[in-house]
């Protein structure tokens, strides 16, 4: 009799525990609610894996449509021809050399004392200084660039030309007067922009660089 009462007491305690915590495991295994919860979680994981596989397959399809082209940014007051900095610097040097010497001699704005070394060194120094100046302005004052519509670059180029001409080549490079000097810088920016756009189209179409 006492044994039966003890078993009934244990069963009653188990029933009370189930009511307090419905997820409690019975002695023979998981509860039905817990099994259902695990099945739902498994279905959700399977659906998530299928979605991830579908996204990966879509990316592969888009990636196989054509060869990836190297990014070439539009050039207005300064840009990028090539992702490698040294190659980009060399392209800029050749471009600046061509435009500086061409504009100065064809329009009679200045004289480089008929020395090839002078114009080469002048263009090289300007290219290096302009590269650092442009990088500094874009990294630290980009909002000001947008507010001035890029005019800060022209003001910087004008200042660089003046400093190089006045302090480094005071006797080797001679401009006619201050007005033509300002016009020279304006035409330099314009013609470099036009030539740079043509180079950009050439790079995009034929993959030269």
- Total domains, the chain: 2
In a domain, 98, yes or no: yes
Q: How far apart are CA 22 and CA 45, in angstroms?
A: 24
DSSP string computed for 165-190:
IIII-TTT-EES-HHHHHHHHHHHHH
pLDDT of 15-74, one tens digit each? 555 554 555 444 455 677 777 777 777 777 777 677 777 777 776 676 555 444 443 333
In a domain, 68, yes or no: no
The tokens for 75 are 């050039």
In a domain, 70, yes or no: no
Q: Is 0.85 surpassed by the pTM of this model? A: no
pLDDT of 107-146, one tens digit each? 988 888 767 889 999 999 999 999 999 889 888 888 888 8
- 179, 90: one domain: yes
- 19, 104: one domain: no
- 52, 114: one domain: no
In a domain, 69, yes or no: no
- 120, 199: one domain: yes
Buried b (16+ CB within 10 A) or exposed e, 40-65: eeeeeeeeeeeeeeeeeeeeeeeeee
- 91, 157: one domain: yes
In a domain, 151, yes or no: yes
- 163, 96: one domain: yes
29 vs 98, more confident: 98
- 94, 174: one domain: yes
What is the domain range of residue 140?
Answer: 85-206
In a domain, 73, yes or no: no
């Amino acid at each position: 009799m006492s044994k039966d009462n003890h078993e009934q007491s244990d069963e009653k305690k188990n029933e009370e525990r189930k009511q307090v915590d419905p997820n409690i495991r019975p002695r023979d295994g998981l509860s039905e609610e817990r099994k259902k919860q695990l099945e739902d979680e498994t279905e959700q994981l399977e659906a998530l894996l299928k979605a991830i596989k579908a996204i990966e397959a879509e990316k592969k399809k888009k990636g196989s449509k054509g060869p990836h082209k190297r990014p070439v940014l539009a050039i207005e007051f300064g840009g990028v021809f090539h992702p490698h900095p040294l190659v980009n610097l060399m392209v800029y040097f050749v471009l600046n050399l061509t435009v500086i010497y061409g504009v100065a001699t064809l329009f009679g704005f200045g004289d480089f004392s008929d020395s090839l070394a002078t114009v080469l060194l002048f263009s090289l120094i300007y290219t290096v200084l302009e590269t650092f100046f442009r990088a500094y302005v874009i990294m630290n004052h980009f909002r000001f660039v947008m507010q001035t519509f890029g005019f800060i670059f022209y003001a910087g180029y004008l200042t660089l030309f003046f400093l190089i001409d006045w302090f480094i080549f005071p006797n080797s490079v001679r401009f006619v007067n201050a007005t033509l000097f300002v016009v020279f810088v304006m035409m330099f920016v314009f013609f470099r922009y036009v030539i740079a756009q043509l180079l950009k189209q050439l790079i995009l179409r034929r993959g030269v660089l």
